[in-house]
Copies of this chain bind each other. A is one copy, B any other.
């Protein structure tokens, strides 16, 4: 009975070495996919993780499973990050952080993009939306964001701007000005 962990159930706890390898693989995969894009080879992941190819497939029986796992980890991290933010400016802060990450971590976005496609991660994505919803509510309560703005377009803007940052390779100033426009669009009209 090997260890695949498709989603919720944890099964018996992994042996220490297996856990270590699983983590290493996940990290290597994140790096590799970030550098080479989503169709980097699984062998490369194995090489960087310092394990044999078979080990990767023991933990993630399919390349897609590996991608899904990275994605899940990534989304969880984002949710956690969102959870730490508070107050009316939290939403904007979140945008900034994410975009900054996107600039360096190709996978953040490339994978986010596939979330709705081959990979099936509805709940993980759902949790992110929820967290984002919280930030939006706070921002609207604090008067930082117009009340008519709804969650879907905020999500859409977030993803868009991450993609843009990723593929465009924005330098710092550009990133700030681009977000500036979006933030201005979210704020209530100066009265």
CA distance A180 to B182 in the complex (A): 10
Interface flag for A152 (CB, 8 Å): yes
**Interface readout for A166-184 with B: 1 if CB under 8 Å, 0 if not?**
0111100010011011111
Q: How many residues of A contact B (CB 8 A)?
A: 37
Q: Which residue of B lies closest to A173 (CB)?
A: B152
Interface flag for A13 (CB, 8 Å): no
Interface flag for A122 (CB, 8 Å): no
CA distance A166 to B4 in the complex (A): 31
Q: Which of A22-30, A77-85, A157-165 contacts B (4 or more CB under 8 A)?
A: A157-165
For residues 119 through 158 of chain A, which have their beta carbon under 8 Å from a beta carbon of chain B?
A: 149-150, 152-153, 156-157
Interface flag for A190 (CB, 8 Å): yes
Provide the residues of chain B in CB contact with A87, threshold 8 Å: none
Given contact pairs A153-B174, A153-B180, A185-B185, A167 touches B116 in the complex (Cβ within 8 A): yes
Q: Which residue of B lies closest to A113 (CB)?
A: B167
CA distance A39 to B37 in the complex (A): 12
Given contact pairs A153-B180, A159-B168, A163-B167, A189 touches B186 in the complex (Cβ within 8 A): no
New A-B contacts (16) at CB < 8 Å, excluding given A160-B168, A181-B185: A1-B47, A39-B39, A113-B163, A116-B167, A116-B169, A117-B167, A153-B174, A153-B178, A156-B170, A156-B178, A157-B178, A159-B167, A160-B161, A181-B182, A184-B186, A191-B191
* Chain A residues within 8 Å of B, Cβ to Cβ: 1, 39, 47, 112-114, 116-117, 149-150, 152-153, 156-157, 159-161, 163-165, 167-170, 174, 177-178, 180-186, 189-191
**20 chain-A/chain-B pairs, Cβ below 8 angstroms:** A113-B163, A114-B167, A116-B168, A116-B169, A150-B177, A152-B177, A153-B180, A153-B181, A156-B164, A157-B181, A159-B163, A160-B168, A181-B182, A181-B185, A182-B182, A183-B185, A184-B189, A189-B189, A189-B190, A190-B191
